[in-house]
Amino acid sequence: MTLQWEQVVMDAADPVALGRWWAEALGWVVVNDDPDEFEIRPEPDRLPGIIFEPVTDRKSGKNRLHLDFRPEDQKAEVERLLALGARHADIGQGEQTWVVMADPEGNEFCVLSGRGGG
Which own/partner pairs from 79-88 qualify as long-range (CB within 8 Å, at least 24 positions apart)?
Answer: 81/25, 81/111, 84/21, 84/24, 84/25, 85/21, 86/25
Position 117 pLDDT exceeds 60: no
pLDDT score for 89? 92
- Angle in degrees, CA 115, 4, 10, rounded to 5: 70
pLDDT score for 114? 74
Q: Is the peptide bond before 48 cis (omega within 30 degrees of 0)?
A: yes
Same topology, domains 1-56 and 65-118? Answer is no
pLDDT score for 98? 87
Write phi, then psi, for 80 (nearest 5 degrees): -65, -45
**Among the four given CATH numbers 3.40.50.620, 3.30.720.120, 3.40.50.800, 3.30.470.10, the one describing domain 1-56:** 3.30.720.120
Across all residues in the chain, what is the average pLDDT? 92
Q: State the CATH class of domain 65-118.
A: alpha beta
51 DSSP β-pair partners: 9, 39
pLDDT score for 94? 66
pLDDT in tens, 7-62: 999 999 999 999 999 999 999 999 999 999 999 999 999 999 999 999 998 888 78
What are the Cα distances from residue 42, in Å, to 2, 9, 115? 22, 15, 20
pTM above 0.85, yes or no: yes
Position 118 pLDDT exceeds 60: no
Domain ranges of the chain: 1-56, 65-118
Ordered alpha helix ranges (H), 30-101: 74-84
Q: Is 72 in contact with 114 (CB distance < 8 Å)? A: yes
